[in-house]
Chain A
Amino acid sequence: MQLTLAHHPITDLQLGAPAALEGTVLVIDRAELSRVVTEDESIVSVDFDIARPGERCRAGPIFDIIEPRAKAPGSGPDFPGILGAPATAGMGTTHVLRGAAVSVLAEMSPDPFRSATGRVLEMSGPVVETSDYSSLSHLLVIPHTRPGLPRQAIEKSYRLAGIRVAVALARNALSQVPEPLQTFAPVGPSEHGREDLPRVAYVGQIFSRQRKPAVDEPILYGANTDGMLPVMLHPDEWLDGAIVPSLHSWFGGTETYFYQNHPIILELYQRHQAREINFVGTVATIAGSDNFDRERHCRAAANLVRWNLKADGAVLSKYGGGLPHADLAETARLLEGMGIKTSVMVSDVSRDRRVESALLFNVPEVDAIVYNGGNGTRLEVPRVERIIAATPEFTKLLAGPMTLDASNIVGVTNQQGASRMRALVY
């Protein structure tokens, strides 16, 4: 298994017809994309807009951000299990529109009580230093769903609209010559020539079953994680469409974009390439809904790391709210007990900004903690010339100037390791 990424640098998006990739400019045919999106009969119509880096513009609420990618013919389906058969992701060649993004706007906030605005995308102002998303050229997809749909059906439509548009855009690159081609040094539990390097695994939560997923909620290869036990995945499966965030994740800072560009996996790949470590593989797991679930998942995940990957060390990350901290810490504790060193990444959830309320676990063995911030920072954002939103209410609400929680600006906080905002203990 070896994934090749064929990068096509994108410097601008233009609306026009026919759709084409002309050098580094992507021409986007709205009518064609409209047909792609409204294949889903939950969506009655769809609008499109473009937001460029540096433009005095704001968009929201953002449901998801996706990097436009399409599989080369013969390389398997895009988003297997969701858009195609659940074939193994991470095979063959995937074309990437580097520097572009597809961002889906919602017609409601994910949690109006905690945030009227939802998460917004800032393309200008001081915030751009802190979010990787601000430097991308965004095609905003604004689906309008049929009235009366239950929330999860609406969110599923948003998910499908986003990834379908992303794939459709990237297909324009299939006939073009990419630059450059990117491959990664082979990763696996038994790669030769790496016997002297420390064996490192990644254990990543991909869902928290604090909430039971919808029956048709796509998370892992289109499945909703019901009955799932931790599973070994090749890192390329994460990068190539095997996993998307759950339908309710758009409050927490998990986007499809950072599965496709998973910061932890890319970091491990880089250290692997530099022969600092032997990256032996990954385990995808979920946070349990009760203690029995938790015990099962944590033990199974730790056992895969020990017996199948035979790792010397593991990095762990969580998904979702506060409760998954417990699963993360327990898995790390079990690994440490097996003699496998760990470091873990969590986000600050203290509401009073006190260390005593912060951690949600207190396990002496779990002594290497990366602590993401964003919980207590509010950022001033200026009035901007243009608001891109799905409803007139949001257009008005997002006009600015206003103060936003850092966690409500996409990219500033992130559970996948992309953020530079740290919560410091003082």
Chain B
Amino acid sequence: MRIAHYVNQFFGGIGAEEHAGKGLETRDGAVGPGRLLESLLGNDAHVVVTFVCGDNYAVEHQEELTASVLEKVRQAKVDLFIAGPCFDAGRYGMAAGALCCAIQAELGIPVITAMSEENPGVDLYREALYVIDSGTSIAKMRGVLATMARLGEKLIKKESIGLPAEEGYLRRGLLRDQLVEKKAATRLVDMLIAKMKKEPFESEMPPTAFAPVPIPAAIKDMSKAKVMLITDGGLVPKGNPDRIEGTAATRWGSYSIEGRDDLRAEDYEVSHGGYDTRFVQEDPDRLVPLDALREMERNGVIGKLHDEFISTCGRSNPLSNTRRLGREMAHKIKQDGVDAVILTST
């Protein structure tokens, strides 16, 4: 088994923070933790090349570093790329994650790194990579390397990889289906009984946390603001010209309402499979309240209603997709000089 290993200046034996600006060095064979790794993996395993780089240099020259390491790993023809363990060293974690991602994507060989849960590299790379949970204590180096070695062997042999708790990696935030021994009904009652008895139980879905969205500054004078209507309720012109899907839409459309005071039923249809659309079909203003906004425009409550409204379908739409839709819409809204948006949902 041929291994390439990346370590920072500290674990590479160059020195502490004062050497963080040191550029990439490529050394033959194992260095520092790489030697321990070799011994844990047994006689077959050889760290054939070690990359040592200063943490500041790595973060400041990420592209150069990645290109250079990638090329050398390609030439070294290795079976496995290991970076770290990085523990709670943030810049080290960021560099290790970036290198692992690039090598996995470009060369298709197994990659492993290790960090503590709080390392900023975890948030960026946990979904794409197996990041072994190293904790923060360097004293645990041996155990962490042993876990990395175990998982590395499995990845090379293409064995099925168990759950985070079994394999020691940080939860990637992904889902996969598996047949389990007990029926859902049994698990449901088991869980309740454990909870009532105050015994430990494990929810099959952990709590999900989302980064807060900062609230933009309030508009000082609405009577001068240009307002736009956006809906995820799937209202589209008759014939659905942009072919916006009624489930998990990958597209959105922007449609003119210039010179109109009211949306007529015969001009629109609804592409949305998740709610009873009949009331919107009867009168589209119920979803995209053009009539009400025109009145506010006439009365000077708002400055102007934008000449187009945006529509998509929000049903069963994964965040990985809606983020893109949102960014695209935001780009257009900014370009059009819109000050405020009213989002209507169903």
Q: Are A350 and B206 in contact (CB under 8 A)?
A: no
B221 within 8 A of A: no
Mark contacts of A332-355 with chain B using CB atoms, 8 A cut-off: 1 yes-contact digit, 0 otherwise.
000000000111111011111111
One of A268, A351, A420 near B183 (C-beta < 8 A): A420
- B175:A354 contact, CB within 8 angstroms: yes
Contact with B along A179-194 (1 / 0, CB 8 A): 0000000000000000
Per-residue interface assignment for chain B, residues 167 to 180, with 1 indicating a CB less than 8 Å from any chain A CB and 0 otherwise: 00001111111111
Separation of A424 and B179 alpha carbons in the complex (Å)? 10
> Count of chain B residues with Cβ under 8 Å from any Cβ of A?
51
Q: Report A-chain residues with C-beta under 8 Å of the C-beta of B39.
A: none
Residues 155-208 of B at the A interface (beta carbon under 8 Å): 161, 163-164, 171-189, 191-193, 195-197, 201, 203-208
Q: How far is the CB of B188 from chain A (nearest CB, A)?
A: 5
B-side contacts of A416, CB under 8 Å = 185
Contact A424 B178 (CB under 8 A): yes
A367, CB-defined interface residue at 8 Å: yes
Q: Does B320 contact A (CB under 8 A)?
A: yes
From A357, A368, A425, contact of B195 by CB (8 A): A368
Q: Is A128 at the interface (CB under 8 A from chain B)?
A: no
B175 and A374 form a contact (CB under 8 A): no
> Is the Cβ of B175 less than 8 Å from the Cβ of A424?
yes
Residues in chain A near residue B318, CB distance under 8 A: 350-352, 354, 357
Residues of A within 8 Å of B, CB-based: how many? 71
Given A210-B276, A268-B189, A276-B193, CB of A425 within 8 Å of CB of B177? no
- Which A residues are in CB contact (< 8 Å) with B248? 351
**Residue B127 lies at the interface, judged by CB distance under 8 Å to chain A:** yes
Q: Are A362 and B203 in contact (CB under 8 A)?
A: no
State in angstroms the CA–CA spacing of A289 and B196 once bound together.
Answer: 32
Separation in Å of the A405 CB from the closest CB of chain B? 11
* Interface locus among A30-38, A75-83, A161-169, A315-323: A315-323
**Which single member of A210, A323, A354 contacts B174 (CB below 8 Å)?**
A354
Q: Does A266 contact B (CB under 8 A)?
A: yes
Q: Does the CB pair B184–A289 fall under 8 Å?
A: no
- Contact between B178 and A373 (Cβ–Cβ < 8 Å)? yes
- Chain B: which residue is nearest A416 at the CB level? B185
| In-complex Cβ contact of A417 among B175, B184, B320 (8 A) | B184
A264 to chain B minimum Cβ distance, whole angstroms, is 4
B247 interface hit (Cβ, 8 Å):
yes
Closest partner residue, chain B, to A412 (CB atom): B179
Cβ of B127 to closest chain A Cβ, rounded Å: 7
Residues of B near A343 (CB, < 8 A) are 188-189, 191-192, 195
With contact pairs A369-B205, A425-B204 given, residues A322 and B180 touching in the complex (Cβ less than 8 Å): no
Per-position binary interface string of chain A over residues 196-219, scored 1 when its CB falls under 8 Å from any chain B CB and 0 otherwise = 001010000000011110000000
Whole-angstrom CA separation of A209 from B163 in the bound complex: 37
Q: Which of A200, A212, A322, A419 contacts B192 (CB 8 A)?
A: A200
Please, what's the 1-or-0 string for A244-269, where 1 marks a CB less than 8 Å from any CB in chain B? 00000000000000000001101110
Contacting B at CB under 8 A, from A398-423, are 406, 414, 416-423
* Minimum Cβ distance to chain A for residue B125 (Å): 15
Encode contact with A along B207-241: 1 for CB under 8 Å, 0 otherwise: 11010000000000000000000000000000000
Instruction: Tell me the minimal C-beta distance from A315 to chain B in angstroms.
Output: 5
| Residue in contact with A420 in the complex, picked from B163, B179, B201, CB distance below 8 Å | B179
Contacting residues, chain A, for B177 (C-beta < 8 A): 348, 373-377, 406, 421-424
How far apart sit A406 and B176, CA to CA, in the bound complex (Å)? 12
> Complex: how many Å from CA A212 to CA B277?
10
Give the CA-CA distance A423 to B178 in the complex, in Å.
Answer: 6
Residues of A within 8 A of B205 (CB): 346, 355, 358-359, 369, 371, 425
What's the Cα separation between A367 and B196 when bound, in Å?
Answer: 13
A74 part of interface (Cβ distance < 8 Å): no
**Contact mask A375-407 → B, CB, 8 Å, 1/0?**
111000000000000000000000000000010
Question: In the complex, A376→B318 CA distance in Å?
Answer: 13
A68 at the interface (CB under 8 A from B): no
Closest A residue, CB atoms, query B320: A352
Q: Which of A145-171 contact B (CB under 8 A)?
A: none
- On whether the beta carbons of B203 and A354 are closer than 8 Å, the reply is no
With A264-B189, A315-B192 known as contacts, the answer to whether A362 contacts B204 (CB < 8 A) is no
- Interface membership of B68, Cβ < 8 A: no
B residues within 8 A CB of A354? 127, 173-175, 318-320
How far is A345 from B183 in the complex, measured between Cα atoms in Å? 11
Q: List 15 A-B contacts (CB under 8 A).
A: A114-B247, A200-B196, A210-B274, A267-B186, A341-B192, A350-B175, A354-B175, A357-B320, A358-B205, A370-B187, A371-B204, A373-B177, A373-B178, A406-B177, A420-B179
**Other contacts beyond A130-B179, A267-B185, A342-B195: 19, CB < 8 A:** A198-B193, A277-B193, A313-B195, A313-B196, A322-B274, A345-B184, A353-B175, A354-B173, A354-B174, A362-B210, A373-B176, A406-B177, A418-B185, A419-B184, A420-B184, A422-B178, A425-B175, A426-B174, A426-B176
For the complex of A and B, the 6 pairs showing the least CB-CB separation, nearest first, are A417-B185, A263-B185, A373-B177, A352-B318, A357-B318, A371-B204
